[in-house]
Structure 1
Amino acid sequence: MIDENYHALLKAAAESHDQLIARPAGLNARAAKALLAKLCQTALVVEVVVIADEPHWHSDERGPIGLRLTTAGRESLGLDAGPDRVETKPRSGTKQALIVAMLQREEGATLTDLMAATGWLAHSTRAALTGLRKRGMILTKGCDAEGRTAYRLTDDATVEVR
């Protein structure tokens, strides 16, 4: 059973298109840190790297960090396991389908890899990644063996960001 104080935060995230929990306005840094720790302990949310215009709780070396509602979080609210929106998959043989396939690999793909595969410039490639996020796909950011930033698509929001 989830605490009544967290119910409103989780419900608002479940109703949002990105499943992100917005940090309550007026919450000081110390209280936000305590709430963040408590929410993460419940396994109802997970920390994810977000883009600058998405709700975030803090920033670290990975960039802005937000809290995304997990499948367990949705189920604790009595909702189905997935968001209400329908994810559309790119048509096969397109550059978007190529990007999705590269991001689903275990090692993921670096921005340079994606640019080389599509022939796109960096800003276009980043825009494609943002588009995938907006379509409800869960994109995580980590490092590859050489320390370069690698992006990966995951099936579940409970996968931790490295």
Structure 2
Amino acid sequence: MTTPSDTQSLILSRAATRPGNLALPLPEGLVGAAAKMVVGKMIARGWLEEVEANLRRREPMWRETGDGHGTTLIATEAGLEAIGIEPLAASAVASVRRAKPKAEPELVQTPDDSETVKPVAIRAGTKQAQIIAMLQRPEGASIAEIVAATSWQAHTARGAISGALGKKLGLVVTSSKEDGRGRVYRICQSD
């Protein structure tokens, strides 16, 4: 497998911290022909994907298509895996992008950056990535199973599901009561 260059790694790691794995804006100083060359290689390797930009969400555009629409760049699962982000965690974040939004998110305005959003990062081997993997299984996971896997208190596990997964990452987590297991949580897969 090809190893990303420093510039490519920077683009992918920044994309991993943005909602929907947006790869734009590119690093400062990477413009013009150099930007097209780097992005072209990343698309060819399957690390970036060009998708239609959601202008209502004020997503940055990579290029205009000429009919009032534009495209943006997102990091793919292969791209995130190339920099060491676990594929299951990457696919969970990618599924959020494919899901239909319930409401338009508001951007946080700061004086030096007009489109700053909260960073979102899922690192391989973390308890958060472990919980996401458990909730993506068809059988889901109960609080007792999450507590056993993470060594957390039950209230911490519930808080992680609600806060980190639901609010911070925007994942849709459902729960249902099952005989013998109690309340079982699952991440909704949208395909």
TM-score normalized with structure 1 length: 0.49
Higher helix proportion: 2
Higher relative contact order (CA 8 A, sep 6+): 1
TM-score normalized with structure 2 length: 0.43
Greater Rg over alpha carbons, structure: 2
Higher strand proportion: 1
